[in-house]
């Protein structure tokens, strides 16, 4: 296993393209890169306008996040100049990229980290296929055109193999034919999709694990074209040590329950 200095040396001077950059994992990744690889190149961040704010305004809010507190103490706010917002959406054709932005990415990016996904376990197949499966396919298509790509890193989930009692570091057989599922989603109504969902998911507990499993195969199909890596984090909770102990910006999973309990919301609602 390479030591920390070798990892730093590999990524030094490299330009990144990161999806899911405004989520918990994305923010922690950006902070870690900026703090530990000072001579990293540019970090192109795929972002959507949100709540009446354009992508430049959303990027301007980054230094206000508690996750960057340690970084700002050690360095200078000028380090954020390495961050470049790119308008787009993994749920749109061609990632919603403008021709100019696409050209910039193809000519400059060396490392791709695909972290964007929909995490709503209650969603039906339509949005999860659109974002988790087709979004990954769109990222891989972009990677194929990049002129100097060194590695593609796909953030999957440990739970893509949750139906197994023991899982190893390999891509297991796809639970269904991706093209068949895409066809069903494009032709059936929500009611019809909901009706067939249990048969489609089989041993998968929800559409999230199912579509993230299919997404791994989109990455695997490109593994002979350029270096690809799949990482499978387990349940995402508050940070352990870095960058700030206990930090989180997410209400998903256990921290949502703990936040509600600490504010008395869960107890209050229980007695309504």
Cβ atoms of residues 216 and 207 within 8 Å = no
Average pLDDT (119-124) is: 85
The number of helix segments (H) and strand segments (E) in the chain equals 12, 6
Mean pLDDT, the chain, as a whole number? 90
Assessment of whether the complete model's pTM goes beyond 0.85: yes
Q: Which domain holds residue 37?
A: 4-270
pLDDT: is 77 or 135 the higher one? 135
Looking up tokens 């195969």, which residue turns up? 217
pLDDT of residue 68: 85
The length of the chain in residues reads 272
Report the CATH number at residue 217.
3.40.50.720
pLDDT: is 74 or 21 the higher one? 21
Distance CA 50, CA 58 (A): 8
For the segment 138-190, what is each residue's pLDDT rounded down to a tens digit? 999 999 999 999 999 999 999 999 999 999 999 999 999 999 999 999 999 99
Say yes or no to pLDDT of 252 above 80: no
Tokens at residue 23, please? 């989520």
Distance CA 86, CA 185 (A): 28
For the segment 210-246, what is each residue's pLDDT rounded down to a tens digit? 999 999 999 999 999 999 999 999 887 877 887 777 7
Number of domains in the chain: 1
Lowest mean pLDDT among 39-43, 147-151, 238-242, 252-256: 252-256
- Phi, psi (rounded to 5 degrees) for 43: -115, 105
Query: Coil, strand, or helix at residue 23?
Result: coil
Cβ atoms of residues 206 and 121 within 8 Å = yes
pLDDT of residue 270: 42
For the segment 5-32, what is each residue's pLDDT rounded down to a tens digit? 898 999 999 999 999 998 889 999 999 9
């Amino acid at each position: 296993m390479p030591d920390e200095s070798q990892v730093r040396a590999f990524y030094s001077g490299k330009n990144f393209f990161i999806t899911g950059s405004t989520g918990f994992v994305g923010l922690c990744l950006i902070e870690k890169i900026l703090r530990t690889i000072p001579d990293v190149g540019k970090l192109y961040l795929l972002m959507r306008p949100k709540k009446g704010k354009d992508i430049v305004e959303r990027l301007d809010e980054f230094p206000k996040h508690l996750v960057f507190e340690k970084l700002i103490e050690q360095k200078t706010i000028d380090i954020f100049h390495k961050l470049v917002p790119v308008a787009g959406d993994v749920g749109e054709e061609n990632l919603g990229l403008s021709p100019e932005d696409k050209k910039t990415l193809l000519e400059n990016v060396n490392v791709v980290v695909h972290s964007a996904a929909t995490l709503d376990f209650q969603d039906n197949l339509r949005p999860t296929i659109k974002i988790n499966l087709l979004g990954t396919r769109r990222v891989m298509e972009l990677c194929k055109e990049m002129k100097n790509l060194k590695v593609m890193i796909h953030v999957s989930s440990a739970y893509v193999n949750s139906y197994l009692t023991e899982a190893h570091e390999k891509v297991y057989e796809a639970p269904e034919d991706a093209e068949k599922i895409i066809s069903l989603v494009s032709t059936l109504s929500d009611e019809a999709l909901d009706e067939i969902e249990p048969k489609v998911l089989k041993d998968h507990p929800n559409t999230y694990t199912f579509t993230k499993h299919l997404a791994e195969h989109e990455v695997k199909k490109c593994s002979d074209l350029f270096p690809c890596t799949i990482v499978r984090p387990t349940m995402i909770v508050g940070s352990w040590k870095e960058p700030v102990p206990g930090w989180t910006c997410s209400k998903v999973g256990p921290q949502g329950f703990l936040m509600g309990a600490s504010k008395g919301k869960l107890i209050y609602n229980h007695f309504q």
